[in-house]
Structure 1
Amino acid sequence: MRFLIFFLSGLILVSISGCGSFWAGVVHGPTCPYQGVQFDFKMATNWDAIKGTYGFVIPLAVVDLPFSFVVDTFTLGQADGGDRCPRKFES
């Protein structure tokens, strides 16, 4: 029981850290403005991701969305919007 509480607490902390922005930045580089917000929105509305996680991705993406917005705003100066800028995130 103690492990379950520890695991769920860690999962909640990771989900509210703007991790959509970090994932998009690691995979694609800081090229697209607000790419973490776009990724969170894609995960919350992607039917395959919803089915694969039994709907658990929706609250995580919704909770992560404002934190990704903040992180993306701080890294906006690095976004060049070049040809590597992904507008569609495929899961």
Structure 2
Amino acid sequence: MLKMKLSLLISFFAMYLSGCGSFVTGISHGPTCPYQGVQLDVYAATDWATLKSTYGGILPLAIIDLPFSFVFDTFTLEKADGGDRCPRKF
């Protein structure tokens, strides 16, 4: 039972850390814009207010997450309809 819980916990964190920008934008705004996870990661890495409020802690996370978000967004590109809210302003 403990091994099962541990494997579920590891699976959850692996899913959470791989492409988490895509998951955040998909859950918050729905899959409407192409490469919305990549857009969020770039925004988090370049927005001065975000960097200042996190004391720069978001920068390495955004850079590490960027390739994972790119791959995840590429696989879910067919679900992006490119509605009138694209490009989205975060």
Normalising by structure 1, we get a TM-score of 0.78
Distance across 2 between alignment mates of 1:51 and 1:14:
28
Q: Flag as ranges the 4+ runs of structure 1 deviating above 6 A.
A: none
Paired residues for 1:1-91 under 5 Å: 16-89=17-90
CA separation in 2, counterparts of 1:14 and 1:46?
26
Instruction: State how far apart, in whole Å, the 2-side matches of 1:27 and 1:21 are.
Output: 10
Q: CA RMSD in A?
A: 2.0
Stretches of structure 2 lacking an aligned partner (at least 5 in a row)? 1-9
TM-score (norm 2): 0.78
Q: Which has the larger radius of gyration?
A: 2
- Flag structure 1 segments of 5+ consecutive residues without an equivalent: 1-9
Distance 1:17 1:64, change over 3 A: same
